[in-house]
Amino acid sequence: MVFKGGVNLFDAYKIRFCNIVEEISSDTPPEVFNFTLPSEQSVKHIIVTLCPTEPWALPNWVTLGHKTTVFLDKIKELQSTLFPEAKCSVVIINNETEHISAAKEYAGMNEWLEVFVIDAKYPYDDPVVLSKAILNKDINFGQDTLSQGILVFDAQTALAIHKSRILNKSVNSRFIALSGTGLKENEFIKVQLGTTLEKILKNRVKETAPYRVFINGPLRGMEIKDFAQKIDWTVNDIVVLAAQDKKVMFPMINTDRLHFTTNLLGELRACVYCNFCDDICPVNLEPALYYHCYNKGEKQKVRSYDLEKCIECGLCSFACPSKIELLRIIKECKLPDEQKS
Amino acid sequence: MKKLLNKFEPPLNKNLDRIESFIHTHGAVNFLFGAIFGAFDGLLRSSKHTAQTQPFIRSNMDTKKFMGAVLIALAIGWVFPAMYFYGLQCVISKLIVSLVVGVFAVDVIWAIIAREDHISEGGFVSCLLVPAILPPQAPLWLIGLGAAMAIIFRNILGGVGHNLVNPALFSRLFLTICFPALLATGYQMPFAGIPDLHTLRYGLDTITHATPLSEFKADGTITSYFSLLIGTANGSLGETCRLALILSGIWLVKMKVANWRLPVSYFGSVFLFSGMFCLLSKENVAPPLFQLLSGGLVLGAFFMITDPITATYNQKAKWIYGIGCGFITVLLRNYTTLSEGAMYAILLMNLLAIPIQSLMVKIRYRT
């Protein structure tokens, strides 16, 4: 695996999904999706992201089918009705050649649309990274892109806004990708909003070994301990990983047992300045400096090393061979002094 | 192989678990054997720790693999060629002494005295480098002393990750000061040709010769580049077969264990500066290609200056660091009484890495 300014997770984690989309309904009346759109004047640019850079995220074909032109027609309708002044860009990941050629052909005939192709590297789909790459806007990392007049949304949200605002129909379900080593099978599901996690995971999880559940991926997402939690619109994918909290014999040959689990895959050691963290950093920071300043108790100094640029993608902690919790240090140092407990 | 290992797995795993719980429940046993068991267990089994904060998955590169890659490169780069050129007995006995004294005695005793919870993997690398930078006929006690000094020195400074200068080079400096005569002689001629049982075991054990660099210093003789490259010219035990060192070094760079900027800047600057000085005064300065291929420069460029702990962390500062190493090496080799300057140059730049690093950070972040 070569780490240089982001990482191609598709190569590292090959996840095969079952092609059938199963529908799951809620026990309670489903919640209705309600997207609060910003005012017409505040949006100068719309970016539609067809670029999931994580292998466990929902791929485009589930939401779009293979009908790129139909989707782009809907985007056109959305743009002309809701934000007539705004320009629109569609960003597509470079392994989706079918969508790229269709969208480029469409953009050739429609001036309001621009098509961008990005590498299948995590975290190139981050709103801040995208705004910087596409619009060359120098947005401070971590800042809301909307404050700069840039509205970023994914394919599924775009379709939902179209359905609710243009067609005036209610949206109460969404597609979710279910994957991970803790599951019997990787699959896509269509869930009614408000369904509990417990209902989704029932009969799908391998009960033989301990597992952990993450919403929106194990890199940037949250760990969920309370399975009574309900699914809302922000849930794109659910990843269930084997915890693998026991020692595995001969890890060199039994790599399949440790791969894609929550195991640290190594022991905590001192930083050896190996440059893995700054090589992999997509925004060109030097995370090891934060670690050393933090260890000396100089949190103020940490902030002077462009800390605000960090997009918290977690790749520095991911790549660290000494297994240092760099992202935790970064998050802690970002908090203002008085909030620290 | 996998099937055979998997057969042994359940009973071995169970017994290791039992030993581990026994050690952890008995304070005195843990004090004495906790670190040793941890090191042994770490070679056989994976960690049981899980990620508690984001990100919840981690890459499978860890310090063990990092150091393991260096060990493989060192084995291919100098251990196997040296076995052919100097005989099995010479190399194996030195490796055993170095590893036993350095890792299994000094490091283990240190872990017990200093109450450390683990034995670091970095000790193997230092102990594999110590015999490589000493003459082939160096006595075994000298190797043992060198390995012990390297590990003690590194541990005094706080262990792997805290050492200011390369421990192996520091021990060689210490030995050069204490035993100058032993380090100036004993440069055995390497064996070349089809080996028989005797040469495979002992090499050409009686013939010693001045090293190519000291020969140049004495009468301006330039050894053939081909013999320098393949290892038939003499020198320290591990530095002679440059071809193997270059190949294993390139593999290390490809694995991203060694940073490519350091060997490139070191080789480049040695070539450039020696070329410049050679044009200025032809009779005193060796030609650039001879300088690149002689002495411990190739070993130093791939295995010494690429030690990430002692080099600078900032990537741009790495260029300054490498060029500084090259400049000092050329100066020491050609304008002082020393015939080989790579060791002093690297040690000096190890220390200078700290101000270079802080200066580059100040420039980059304007602090």
Spatial contact of B87 and B202, defined as CB atoms under 8 Å apart: yes
Spatial contact of B365 and A293, defined as CB atoms under 8 Å apart: no
Average pLDDT, integer, range A131-153: 81
pLDDT digits (tens, 9 = 90+) for B92-110: 999 999 999 998 889 888 8
- Domain final residue, candidates A166, A181, A207: A166
Q: Is the pTM of this model over 0.95?
A: no
Q: Please count the other Cβ atoms lying within 10 Å of the Cβ belonging to residue A155.
A: 24
**Residue among A182, A192, A166, A190 nearest A28 (CA):** A192
Cα dihedral: B162, B168, B171, B172 (round 10): -140
CA distance B247 to chain A (A): 20
DSSP H or E run through A234 = none
Q: How far is CA B324 from CA A123, A137, B18, B163, B239, in A?
A: 37, 39, 53, 20, 21
Residue A282 lies in a domain: yes
A305 vs B365: CB contact, 8 Å cut-off?
yes
Residue A112 lies in a domain: yes
A325 vs B361: CB contact, 8 Å cut-off?
no
**Residue among A252, A3, A313 nearest A129 (CA):** A313
* One-letter amino acid of B60: N
CATH assignment of the domain containing A49: 3.40.50.11540
Cα dihedral: B163, B167, B171, B173 (round 10): -80
Average pLDDT, integer, range A283-289: 91
CA distance A75 to chain B (A): 34
Contacts of residue A178, defined as CB under 8 A and 6 or more positions apart, other chains included, come to A186, A187, A188, A189, A200, A204, A237, A238, A240
Q: Please count the other Cβ atoms lying within 10 Å of the Cβ belonging to residue A206.
A: 14
| Mean pLDDT of chain A, nearest integer | 87
Residue B215: the pLDDT is: 85
Residue A1 has pLDDT above 60, yes or no: no
Look up the domain containing A75 and give its range.
Answer: 40-166
Which of B63, B259, B311 minimises the CB distance to A266? Answer: B63
Q: What is the largest CA-CA distance in chain B?
A: 71
Chain A residues with CB under 8 Å of B309 CB are 272-273
**Residue among A178, A166, A124, A153 nearest A233 (CA):** A153
Residue A223 lies in a domain: no
Residue A200 has pLDDT above 70, yes or no: yes
Which of B47, B57, B315 minimises the CB distance to A278? Answer: B315
pLDDT digits (tens, 9 = 90+) for A61-103: 888 887 888 999 999 888 888 888 888 999 999 888 888 998 9
A321 vs B42: CB contact, 8 Å cut-off?
no
Per the structure, the count of domains in chain A is 2
Reported ipTM: 0.89
**Residue among A217, A308, A222, A323 nearest A277 (CA):** A323
Spatial contact of B219 and B339, defined as CB atoms under 8 Å apart: no
pLDDT band at A2 (very low <50, low <70, confident <90, very high): very low
- Domain final residue, candidates A166, A188, A213: A166
B315 vs A275: CB contact, 8 Å cut-off?
yes
pLDDT digits (tens, 9 = 90+) for A145-193: 888 888 888 889 999 998 888 888 888 889 999 999 999 989 999 998 8
Q: Which residue has the higher pLDDT, A23 or B284?
A: A23
Distance CA A98, CA A114 (A): 17
A198 touches chain B (CB under 8 A): no
Chain A residues with CB under 8 Å of B64 CB are 266-267
Residue A119: the pLDDT is: 87
B184's tokens: 């100036």
Q: Which residue has the higher pLDDT, A240 or A147?
A: A240
Distance CA B353, CA B346 (A): 10
Average pLDDT, integer, range A280-300: 90
| Residue ranges of A 225-264 with Cβ closer than 8 A to chain B | 241, 243-251, 253, 255, 258-264
CA distance B39 to chain A (A): 11
Which of A218, A250, A279 minimises the CB distance to B57? Answer: A218
pLDDT band at A4 (very low <50, low <70, confident <90, very high): low
User: What are the residue ranges in chain B where pLDDT is below 70?
Assistant: 205-206
- Domain final residue, candidates A166, A194, A218: A166
Residue A260 lies in a domain: no
Give the domain ranges of chain B.
67-254, 258-367
A274 touches chain B (CB under 8 A): yes
